[in-house]
């Protein structure tokens, strides 16, 4: 890349975990120069071109920079909470039982429908802000708590507007096939008809959805119903992803792979057949240790087999009120290592460039000239600390598309 006459932003005094090449891709005593929303120069301070001045610059005094975190699976736009359901589960009720009784996802649907866009934004803003405050610069947000056309579009519109407001790159996913809404109780097929004929087209027309997702499971939708949703997405030019093999093996990951899905997510019950299909299609495995933890699952996703077959593994919060009420991507790095036995660099890759790939984004997730200037800065002594610690937040702020967000309010 040719050097600019001037950097808009220059960050010095940083050790870099570039994630470029193998492992952490460490550059000690490094610097990053930005022009517009793009990294123009990155490398060791001693190699920095001296004749390029900067409009905004900061010396971070030996902090660490990583690529901005990418949280590629959240349901953070919702109203209400599910603490009562949590207490019931502590007394022995299961997630699936509560769902079958019309609680679970449907209780959040009632609260989300009742909230207007302003109230929904107010409820959801602190969650996006908390995720961003730990260094996330790109966040995916799903619908799926509206379960009627206008309420689904309301969720997606609120997600996009929160992204603009907070300066976070929000990617939206239509998840109308999350549960059967009360109006269609006992008629999942009729609901899928409406999703395919009305809601997917409306989401595509409005430009409010970047992808389409579905929940393929015993308390969600069958493989055949999921296939119909994927056909509708394909007809409207939208990429797909899938909640697959979370509570049972429905062979959903193989179906997702058949449709060239960006990702299949959860995967505790993933079969060898599903792994092969994902490896063949290049579908990313999104691991969600928060849901595994909160539901006290005991069956681990087949991490060793995924690794052996070269299936890329992403890590995300799954921020949602039922199975993963967390707003901490850093805690998920820890859980990915502690519970799922990823290595710390694997976990961070899983929340940067692999997660970006799960969103179809090739322009971010590493510190490299020419990529988007999404950079998180942490007050740590070495990068493995990000996964070692749980609780607390060492993030000093971030560049988001080249814009500095440091200090109070970030
Ligand atoms: N799986 C999940 O973990 C979330 N959705 C899904 O299909 C949970 C959503 C919720 O319980 O509200
Ligand atoms: Fe989810």
CA angle 146, 147, 153 (to 5 degrees): 55
Ligand 1 contacts CB of residue 41 (under 6 A): no
Query: How many A from CA of 228 to the centre of ligand 1?
Result: 21
Minimum CA distance residue for ligand 1 atom 11: 322
Query: How many A from CA of 105 to the centre of ligand 1?
Result: 7
Ligand 1: which atom is nearest the Cα of residue 175? 7
Q: At what angle do helices 149-166 and 117-133 cross, to 10 degrees?
A: 40
Give pTM, 2 decimals. 0.98
Burial zone of 193 (CB within 10 Å; 0-12 exposed, 13-18 middle, 19+ buried):
middle
The bound ligand whose nearest atom lies closest to the alpha carbon of 294 is 1
CA angle 398, 167, 7 (to 5 degrees): 55
Ligand 1 contacts CB of residue 104 (under 6 A): yes
Ligand 1 contacts CB of residue 289 (under 6 A): no
Check: CB of residue 140 under 8 Å from CB of residue 284.
no
Taking only Cα atoms into account, the Rg of the chain, rounded to an integer number of angstroms, comes to 21
Q: What is the pLDDT along the chain (410 residues), one digit of tens a residue?
A: 678 999 999 999 999 999 999 899 999 999 999 999 999 999 999 999 999 999 999 999 999 999 999 999 999 999 999 999 999 999 999 999 999 888 999 999 999 999 999 999 999 999 999 999 999 999 999 999 999 999 999 999 999 999 999 999 999 999 999 999 999 999 999 999 999 999 999 999 999 999 999 999 999 999 999 999 999 999 999 999 999 999 999 999 999 999 999 999 999 999 999 999 999 999 999 999 999 999 999 999 999 999 999 999 999 999 999 999 999 999 999 999 999 999 999 999 999 999 999 999 999 999 999 999 999 999 999 999 999 999 999 999 999 999 999 986 45
Ligand 1 contacts CB of residue 243 (under 6 A): yes
């Amino acid at each position: 890349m040719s050097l600019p006459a001037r950097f808009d932003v220059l960050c010095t005094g940083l050790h870099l975990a570039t994630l470029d090449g193998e492992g952490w891709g460490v550059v000690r005593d490094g610097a990053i120069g930005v022009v517009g929303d793009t990294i123009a120069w990155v490398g060791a301070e001693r190699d920095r071109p001296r004749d390029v001045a900067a409009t905004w610059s900061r010396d971070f005094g030996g902090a660490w920079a990583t690529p901005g975190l990418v949280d590629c699976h959240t349901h953070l736009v919702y109203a209400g909470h599910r603490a009562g359901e949590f207490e019931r589960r502590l007394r022995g009720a299961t997630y699936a039982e509560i769902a079958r009784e019309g609680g679970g996802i449907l209780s959040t649907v009632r609260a989300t429908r009742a909230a207007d866009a302003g109230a929904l934004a107010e409820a959801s803003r602190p969650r996006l802000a908390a995720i961003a405050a730990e260094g996330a610069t790109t966040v995916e947000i799903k619908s799926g708590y509206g379960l009627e056309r206008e309420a689904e579009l309301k969720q997606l519109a609120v997600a996009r507007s929160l992204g603009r407001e907070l300066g976070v790159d929000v990617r939206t996913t239509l998840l109308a096939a999350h549960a059967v809404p009360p109006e269609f109780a006992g008629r999942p097929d009729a609901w899928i008809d409406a999703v395919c004929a009305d809601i997917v087209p409306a989401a595509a027309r409005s430009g409010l959805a970047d992808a389409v997702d579905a929940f393929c499971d015993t308390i969600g939708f069958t493989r055949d119903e999921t296939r119909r949703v994927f056909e509708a997405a394909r007809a409207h030019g939208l990429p797909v992803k899938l909640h697959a093999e979370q509570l049972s093996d429905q062979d959903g990951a193989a179906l997702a792979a058949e449709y060239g899905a960006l990702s299949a997510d959860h995967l505790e019950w993933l079969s060898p057949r599903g792994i092969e299909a994902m490896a063949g299609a290049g579908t990313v495995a999104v691991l969600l240790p928060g849901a595994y933890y909160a539901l006290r699952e005991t069956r681990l996703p087949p991490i060793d087999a995924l690794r052996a077959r070269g299936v890329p593994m992403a890590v995300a919060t799954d921020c949602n009120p039922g199975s993963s009420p967390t707003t901490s991507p850093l805690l998920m790095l820890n859980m990915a290592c502690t519970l799922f036995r990823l290595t710390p660099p694997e976990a961070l890759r899983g929340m940067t460039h692999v997660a970006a790939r799960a969103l179809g984004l090739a322009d971010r997730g590493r510190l490299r000239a020419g990529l988007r200037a999404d950079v998180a800065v942490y007050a740590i002594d070495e990068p493995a600390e990000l996964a070692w610690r749980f609780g607390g937040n060492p993030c000093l702020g971030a560049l988001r598309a080249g814009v500095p967000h440091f200090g109070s309010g970030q």
